[in-house]
């Protein structure tokens, strides 16, 4: 199976109406746990990296490790640069072996977002590297709910954006947020389905997938979502173990690391079950 780009990974997901999990990982434990979960469940998977992780270990060093994991895996794996906001970080990603990148210029004007995305597509596509972009804005922990529809993705804008950029996948703002939800999110499933239709069945993405209910996942996938980004729920699972009564001042660090890998693996499997991708790595 080994390393694939995002377009290859999402094509069957789009055709068969399931979603692939994109898990932000910044350590050996996290990456290994996600791969083990994917292999145990025979699921395609995306290992994602954000620029902030560069403060722990350089992108070049870590991605060499991720590529080896992907190449040795028994399931298809995409290595994806998440939320890149500038061309410099994308050029680094291209040089060190990512199979997919996300250019996030969603905080800029519509025309600036198109220009930035089209430039990245022009660099990456000839190299077989997929490109994801975002239109609308998915907030952070400050929250974005039904009364904030001004930052939701507009259907006609999405159609024009895709036509003019040639992106492989589009992240849409339909009511999710990054981080921990302070209240129940109100998702616009109809808007998602309309965007899917207007963009000629392009693979759609939601960021802020941690904390959504099983019913939410079922509905957004039915409405056209093929990639779901997860980070917070994996870190919560790890921290719940690390702050539990099982950890004492006599716990060996290696043993703790092994157990963290296991709890992250189980948290990943729980997400994969919701996405409908289990058994799809054939």
Q: Which segment of 33-47, 61-75, 202-216, 225-239 scores lowest on mean pLDDT?
A: 202-216
H or E element, residue 76: none
**Is residue 208 over pLDDT 90?**
no
Residue located via tokens 């079922």: 218
Q: Supply 123's token pair.
A: 């660099």
User: Of the listed 24, 82, 104, 233, which one is catalytic?
Assistant: 82
Separation CA 148–CA 255 (nearest Å): 45
Architecture of the 6-275 domain: Alpha-Beta Barrel (3.20)
pLDDT bin (cut points 50, 70, 90) of residue 4 is very high
How many CA atoms lie less than 13 Å away from 106 in the CB half-sphere?
A: 23
**Is residue 8 over pLDDT 50?**
yes
Tell me, yes or no, if the pTM score tops 0.75: yes
**82 annotated active-site:** yes
pLDDT of residue 105: 95
Separation CA 12–CA 154 (nearest Å): 26
Per-residue pLDDT tens over the stretch 77-98: 999 999 999 999 999 999 999 9
pLDDT bin (cut points 50, 70, 90) of residue 136 is confident
- Count of helix runs (H) and strand runs (E) in the chain: 10, 8
Q: Which segment of 29-43, 60-74, 140-154 scores lowest on mean pLDDT?
A: 140-154
DSSP 125: G
| Domain chopping of the chain, boundaries | 6-275
Of the candidates 138, 282, 122, the residue with the CA atom closest to the CA atom of residue 206: 138
């Amino acid at each position: 199976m080994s390393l694939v780009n995002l377009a290859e990974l999402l094509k069957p997901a789009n055709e068969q109406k399931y979603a692939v999990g994109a898990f932000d990982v910044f350590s050996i434990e996290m990456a290994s746990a996600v791969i083990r979960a994917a292999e145990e469940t025979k699921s395609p998977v995306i290992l994602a990296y954000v620029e902030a992780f560069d403060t722990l270990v350089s992108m070049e060093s870590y991605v060499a490790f991720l590529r080896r994991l992907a190449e040795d895996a028994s399931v298809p794996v995409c290595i994806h640069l998440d939320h890149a906001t500038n061309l410099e970080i994308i050029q680094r990603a291209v040089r060190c072996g990512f199979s997919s990148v996300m250019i996030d210029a969603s905080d800029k004007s519509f025309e600036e977002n198109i220009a930035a995305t089209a430039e990245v597509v022009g660099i990456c596509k000839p190299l077989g590297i997929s490109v994801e972009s975002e239109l609308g804005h998915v907030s952070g922990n400050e929250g974005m709910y039904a009364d904030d529809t001004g930052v939701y993705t507009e259907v006609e804008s999405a159609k024009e954006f895709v036509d003019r950029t040639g992106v492989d996948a589009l992240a849409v703002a339909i009511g999710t947020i990054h981080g921990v939800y302070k209240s129940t999110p109100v998702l616009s499933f109809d808007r998602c389905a309309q965007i899917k239709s207007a963009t000629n069945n392009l693979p759609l993405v939601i960021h802020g997938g941690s904390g959504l209910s099983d019913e939410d996942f079922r509905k957004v996938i039915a409405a056209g979502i093929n990639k779901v980004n997860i980070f917070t729920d994996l870190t919560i699972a790890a921290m719940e173990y690390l702050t539990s009564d099982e950890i004492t001042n006599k716990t060996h660090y290696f043993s703790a690391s092994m157990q963290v890998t296991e709890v992250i693996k189980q948290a990943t499997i729980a997400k994969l079950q919701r996405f409908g991708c289990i058994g799809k790595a054939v």
